[in-house]
Every structure is written in structure tokens, then in C-alpha cells.
Amino acid sequence: MRIILSFILIFLTLPVLAQNSILRQGNKAYDEGKFGQAFELYEKAVAKTPQKAAYNSGTALYRLQDYNAATKAFEQALQEPKNQKQAEFNQNALYNFANSAYKAGDKETAKQAMRTVILNNLKDNDAKQNLQFMLKEEQANNQCNNPKENPQQNKDNQKDKQNQNQDKQNQDQKQDQQQEKQKQEQKEKDSSAKEEAASVLQMAREHKQNTQQKSMGSNQIEKDW
């Protein structure tokens, strides 16, 4: 039996049933939501039923959100199947191992393990659904990291580029206006300087003419009539 554990489509098989009294106590605590207590009881049962205790410890650790430890527990529970019952046990352990690895952040290991689960049982719809979810998530992440495959990112980049070009055009226009203003001011200064020089030259000429006229007037001989 498998149940939905979280908002993502990841399922987990329940602890295995066993004749061992400690395992039964652990299962009872698990059913009551006392996952920490269940884990402690499962650990005590390792000596008598190592694979089953490891498997049940993995389910409790998964509930406690210790996904790294859960991954190791399910890995310890894996065994070489000698009959159909052990094959089913191994299939569930590998399935839960994949889910725990995914939750722990080891997405590649999770995908490979889930593929193996599907190859072992092509009718395992839960495994197919989980693998499909992982692949879609991977594709979405790749699109976000690759702008060429992200239309929205391309649109944003193009808009930013347009804004940058517009800013550059505005800056160039301001520089052109500033240069034109400086040229105009320099032209006005040169024109003013020329006018001032011409005025000074005209004053000098007039002064020279006045001096010459006075000099000619003083050199005339007065006639005595």
C-alpha cells in the first residue's frame, strides 16, 4: 500500500508487517504518528530482522524528514530476491530509496532508481508518475537556466537591451547638445573679441587722424595782411 506524503507526487510504501513483537510495537507507534518512537523500536529489532527493521526505520526517518538517513536505511534494506515475496519487498525498498534520494536532493540517483523500479514492474503506475514528475521538474529547471529556451527570459533580455540602447542614444544626444552649446558659446566669444578688436582699431585710427590734424594746424604760417 502506498500513500501520498506531500504536495508533490511522491508516494511511500508503509512499514512491513512482522511477527517480531518489537516490530509490531514500532508499527503501532508509526500508525499513531509517533515516528521518533517507532524509529527507536525498529532500531532495536535490527539484530533479529535486519532487512525489515532497516526498511521500517527508513519509513519512520522519511516521516521525520531525515531524508539522507532514510536513503541509507532503505539501501540497507535492499537484498537479493530469492523468491517472489522477497522480490516484492526489494521492489518497495528500491522505490522508497528513490523517493528518499529525491527528497535528499540527489535527483540523478532518484531518477535512476525509479527507472529500475519501472523496468522491474512495467505496471507500477506510482513509479511512472513519480519519474514523470522528476523529469518535468528537470526540464523546467533547464529552461530557466538556459535563456535560449526561455521565451519570457528572452523577452525580458530584449527589453533590457532596448532600454540600454535608448539610454545610450539619450546619452549621445546630450553629449551632442553639450558640444553644440560649447561651440556656440565659443563662436559668440570669438565674435565679441573681433568686435572689440575692431572697435579698438577704429579708436586708434580716429586718435591718429586727430593728432595729424592738430599738427598741421600748428605748422601754418599766419599772414600779416
- Residues 139-178 have pLDDT tens digits of 988 888 765 555 566 566 666 777 777 777 777 777 778 8
Q: What is the mean pLDDT of residues 131-142?
A: 90
Contact, 33 vs 59, CB < 8 A? no
Give residue 82's pLDDT: 86
Which candidate, 10, 7, 11, 40, places its Cα nearest to that of 23?
A: 40
For residue 27, give the nearest of 16, 13, 11, 36 by alpha carbon.
16
CATH superfamily, domain 2-145, is: Tetratricopeptide repeat domain (1.25.40.10)
User: CA 40 to CA 26: how far, in whole Å?
Assistant: 8
7 CB-near residues (< 8 Å, 6+ apart): none
**C-alpha distances out from residue 216 to 12, 60, 220, 222, Å:** 129, 130, 7, 13
- Where helices occur in 64-106 by DSSP H, the ranges are 67-77, 84-104
Question: Mean pLDDT across the stretch 80-94?
Answer: 90
Confidence of residue 3 (pLDDT cuts 50, 70, 90): very low
Greatest Cα pair distance, the chain, in angstroms, is: 169
User: What three-state secondary structure class fits 11?
Assistant: strand
Domain boundaries, the chain: 2-145
